Structure 1
Amino acid sequence: MRLPPAILGNAEEVLREILRFTAPADVTLSRYFKDHPRLGGRERGAIAECIYAVLRNKTFYTDFAGGATMRRLVLMGMADAIGAESLGGLTEEETAFVARIQEIDRSLLPPRQRANLPDWLYEKFVAQYGEEETQQLAAVLNTPAPLDLRVNSLKADRDKVIEELATAPIKAEPTPYAPLGLRVWKKPALQNLPLFKEGAIEVQDEGSQVLAQLLGARRGEMVVDFCAGAGGKTLAIGAIMRNTGRLYAFDVSEKRLAKLKPRMARSGLSNVHPVVIAHERDAKVKRLAGKIDRVLVDAPCSGMGTLRRNPDVKWRQQEGAIAEMTEKQASILDGASRLVKFGGRLVYATCSLLDEENDAIVQGFLATHPDFELVPVSKVLAEQRIALEMGDTLKMLPHKHGTDGFFAAVLERKAAAKPAAAEADEE
């Protein structure tokens, strides 16, 4: 069934706004759909898929559009997203243009054009991963991500959830690494499912679920999720703690933390305490100094590991902003480290693929904090019975692990040395 020709006009209109890169693409799309309530579900889906296809393939599309008119970008995006045969109301010239583009063998394009990345990011990836792996990484980053779910172990069992989803009918399969993860390849309307309403499932990428496991939180402990955001990892950690102890969800954004509240209510967790902080040196943070068993710092970052879900990020993010980001990351990690008690654990994580936001931050921290040491992540994964081959740090890559790109380092504060007098008494 063909789409009504007017939909191309809608897509052009919203694309023009999105390509100004003044706001995240998903926010702009949501607002546009709210302002155009007459668009049906099929039309909204087609427009969204078209926009994301343009954002993923912008370099290639712009080069082949012969002067990047919005109309031509939309035609290419729609043809890729829903098929050329679904497009109605095209002129002869447009039909011929779409057919010509569809015939191009994209595997033969020059490497930069094939990667569809801004030049600065492409060069960073090549310097870090090499040309061949950059192509493999870019190819996967330019495809849509599957939908990952986390089963809430307080309310449900993974096998039973798979069975119940099958009756919807939604096909879900266990994720290979996260013990409570499920992968769904289509995009169902989850919010209408009883499983979702009752808090038995939450949307969370498998890599993010693995991060929560690395913290190794136990029943009855004092734990802080330092950059909690809307609380995906907070909820996972709360369930791991079996709803015991105290779990603080810190964030500088009241708006983000407000999104956590309905999720908490669904989840059945009562051990979570959301706290708005002004910055990493806030008095609310200082009051807990040296008292916390485990701290997760999922630091604000460039988000380059999430390009399958947020392809606009690669065009909105500027190279110069990375240096500012790394300064902030180092400061947040330093501030959060003060919470950790002797013998306690600190996990630094990002959803970035860039070394300067990852290894470099951890090395800089260790150089200035001799009371902390790096715990090989391979050891922690073995403790958590997660079958992932890793070295000293966690590096989950879309083209290797099928997750978003994630980095994590596990740090522990060395146990306090005994005072010399006490040692003498023992002798």
Structure 2
Amino acid sequence: MRLHRNLCFSVIDGLTLIFNEGHYADKVIQQLLKRDKRWGARDRAFVAETTYDIVRWKRLYAEIAEVKEPFNRDNLWRLFAVWATLKGIKLPDWKYFEETPTRKIKGRFDELSKIRKFKESIPDWMDALGEKELGNSLWTKEINALNEQAEVVLRVNTLKTTKEKLQAELFDLDIESDFLPDYPHALKLKERANVFTTEAFKNGLFEVQDASSQLVAQFLNVQPGMRVVDTCAGAGGKTLHIASLMENKGQIIALDIYENKLHELKRRAKRNGAHNIEPRVIDSTKVIKKLYDKADRVLIDAPCSGLGVLRRNPDAKWKLQPEFIEDIKKTQQELLQQYSRMVKVGGQLVYATCSVLPSENQEQVHKFLASDSGKSFTFIKENKVLAHKSGFDGFYMALLERKQ
């Protein structure tokens, strides 16, 4: 591979924004890809994947390069040189790469790869927490899987098409995909592709949604004609899936505290042809109280550490703090206590997170069931999805039913 100066400069500019100014990696990359209209698919892929790679392995590369944050531009070029050397890419004769100790880089990599927190490039506290909660062996396998690049998985919108028809339509655009056993609405792309520019996407035939995330709506056991409340709907990935499973019949009330996210949901629902979704902003407790004892199904897709989705959000490793996890666990229990009251007798509730930590998952469910609010619920089943076993994101979901 030959390195091109303007592409490398873009990567360095992106890393400056992510590491030194705290910008989100996905937003930075979106901006970088608009820089030069002449860039082809390969150029854009290089910028996006190299930036994500250096973000993912920041701690390991910084340790090898012997640089510390905040990184100046020379430091960032040293990180880049480590990345290129470990990828087997010949460094060009540029001033940024003068005196790059290629052999020393490889030696340091071999040495540091024996220590998990460096090998997997994670903060000390995260390594300690993962081991404490999952045990040494399980955490080692899981954090290794969470450092792999996420594959592109689509969820077919069955309100508009079938899996077979969508696969054929994409094949005509040279986008090949595979069916996934056990994921009835999923297509996995054989190679990464910008599917957002396709007519199929613009016409609402699919959404991009990880296979593990697609399990949640199915876990909710929805039927056409029900009243369903999605309590933390956000921009509506799971809400839209629920709408397709309900065949546009019945009512889905999509709640969130952020109005801008619900605006995005409205836009996506229109594109998807989902007409039974009613977004409501949680601007007071009245919004919640009006729904007490009214819902056949309630989904609490709770805010969490996001440790299960590090493959697609590698910068979260550096933004996340242990105090945040402690605070979010209090929020998770509050949501269970409050939102469970929307479930009517005989109705069901799903509590879900994109975390792999038992303290955010089954321990929260056990705590809720032991409380006064939880005494009217019975535990039906749970699904602990680990990335190293599934090959997709880490997720948790528990199904509870309100007793007669």
Q: How does the TM-score come out when normalised to structure 1?
A: 0.86
Q: Deviations over 1:46-76 (max 9, x none)?
A: 2221221122112211110022511111233
Please give the alpha-carbon distance, in whole angstroms, between the structure 2 residues aligned to 1:254 and 1:153. 27
SS at match of 2:280: strand
Shift of 1:37: 4.4
Task: Say yes or no: does 1:167 pair with 2:172.
Answer: yes
Please give the alpha-carbon distance, in whole angstroms, between the structure 2 residues aligned to 1:76 and 1:47. 16
Cross-structure match for 1:72:
78
Cross-structure match for 2:216:
211
Judged with a 3 Å threshold, the aligned counterparts in structure 2 of structure 1 residues 410 and 347 are, in CA distance, closer, same or farther, namely same
1:340 maps to which of 343, 359, 374 = 343
Letter aligned with residue 141 of structure 2: Q
> Does the CA-based 8 Å contact 2:383-2:398 persist in structure 1?
yes
1:354 maps to which of 330, 352, 357 = 357
Judged with a 3 Å threshold, the aligned counterparts in structure 2 of structure 1 residues 93 and 71 are, in CA distance, closer, same or farther, namely closer
Cross-structure match for 1:424:
none
Task: Say yes or no: does 1:411 pair with 2:400.
Answer: yes
Cross-structure match for 1:60:
60
Please give the alpha-carbon distance, in whole angstroms, between the structure 2 residues aligned to 1:89 and 1:325. 49
Shift of 1:21: 6.1
Please give the alpha-carbon distance, in whole angstroms, between the structure 2 residues aligned to 1:207 and 1:346. 18
SS at match of 1:134: helix
> Does the CA-based 8 Å contact 1:49-1:78 persist in structure 2?
no
> Does the CA-based 8 Å contact 1:298-1:349 persist in structure 2?
yes
Cross-structure match for 1:380:
none
Shift of 1:107: 8.9
Q: Deviations over 1:235-259 (max 9, x none)?
A: 1000100100001111111111121
Could you list the runs of 5+ residues in structure 2 that have no partner in the other structure?
A: 69-74
1:239 maps to which of 244, 254, 278 = 244
1:370-381 alignment, distance < 5 Å: 370-376=375-381
1:317 maps to which of 292, 317, 320 = 320
Judged with a 3 Å threshold, the aligned counterparts in structure 2 of structure 1 residues 360 and 20 are, in CA distance, closer, same or farther, namely farther
Letter aligned with residue 315 of structure 1: W
1:359-398 alignment, distance < 5 Å: 359-368=362-371, 369-376=374-381, 393-398=382-387
Q: CA RMSD in A?
A: 2.2
1:268 maps to which of 270, 273, 276 = 273
> Does the CA-based 8 Å contact 2:163-2:185 persist in structure 1?
yes
Letter aligned with residue 219 of structure 2: L
Could you list the runs of 5+ residues in structure 1 that have no partner in the other structure?
A: 377-392, 416-427
> Does the CA-based 8 Å contact 2:155-2:208 persist in structure 1?
yes
Cross-structure match for 1:50:
50
> Does the CA-based 8 Å contact 2:293-2:341 persist in structure 1?
yes
> Does the CA-based 8 Å contact 1:53-1:80 persist in structure 2?
no
Shift of 1:11: 1.9
> Does the CA-based 8 Å contact 2:15-2:55 persist in structure 1?
no
Judged with a 3 Å threshold, the aligned counterparts in structure 2 of structure 1 residues 189 and 183 are, in CA distance, closer, same or farther, namely same
Judged with a 3 Å threshold, the aligned counterparts in structure 2 of structure 1 residues 188 and 173 are, in CA distance, closer, same or farther, namely same
> Does the CA-based 8 Å contact 1:238-1:272 persist in structure 2?
yes
Letter aligned with residue 72 of structure 1: R
Judged with a 3 Å threshold, the aligned counterparts in structure 2 of structure 1 residues 21 and 222 are, in CA distance, closer, same or farther, namely farther
Judged with a 3 Å threshold, the aligned counterparts in structure 2 of structure 1 residues 48 and 98 are, in CA distance, closer, same or farther, namely farther
Letter aligned with residue 194 of structure 2: A
Task: Say yes or no: does 1:155 pair with 2:155.
Answer: no
Please give the alpha-carbon distance, in whole angstroms, between the structure 1 residues aligned to 2:271 and 2:99. 49
Judged with a 3 Å threshold, the aligned counterparts in structure 2 of structure 1 residues 367 and 105 are, in CA distance, closer, same or farther, namely same
Shift of 1:142: 1.2
> Does the CA-based 8 Å contact 1:33-1:39 persist in structure 2?
no
Q: How does the TM-score come out when normalised to structure 2?
A: 0.91
SS at match of 1:20: helix
Please give the alpha-carbon distance, in whole angstroms, between the structure 2 residues aligned to 1:98 and 1:145. 29
Shift of 1:108: 4.8
Please give the alpha-carbon distance, in whole angstroms, between the structure 2 residues aligned to 1:95 and 1:4. 20
> Does the CA-based 8 Å contact 2:85-2:105 persist in structure 1?
no
> Does the CA-based 8 Å contact 1:293-1:345 persist in structure 2?
yes
SS at match of 1:338: helix
Shift of 1:44: 3.8
Identity rate, percent: 37
> Does the CA-based 8 Å contact 1:5-1:88 persist in structure 2?
no
Judged with a 3 Å threshold, the aligned counterparts in structure 2 of structure 1 residues 134 and 185 are, in CA distance, closer, same or farther, namely farther
Q: Deviations over 1:76-101 (max 9, x none)?
A: 335567x614x544359558535653
Shift of 1:260: 1.3
> Does the CA-based 8 Å contact 1:4-1:88 persist in structure 2?
no
SS at match of 1:374: strand
Letter aligned with residue 137 of structure 2: E
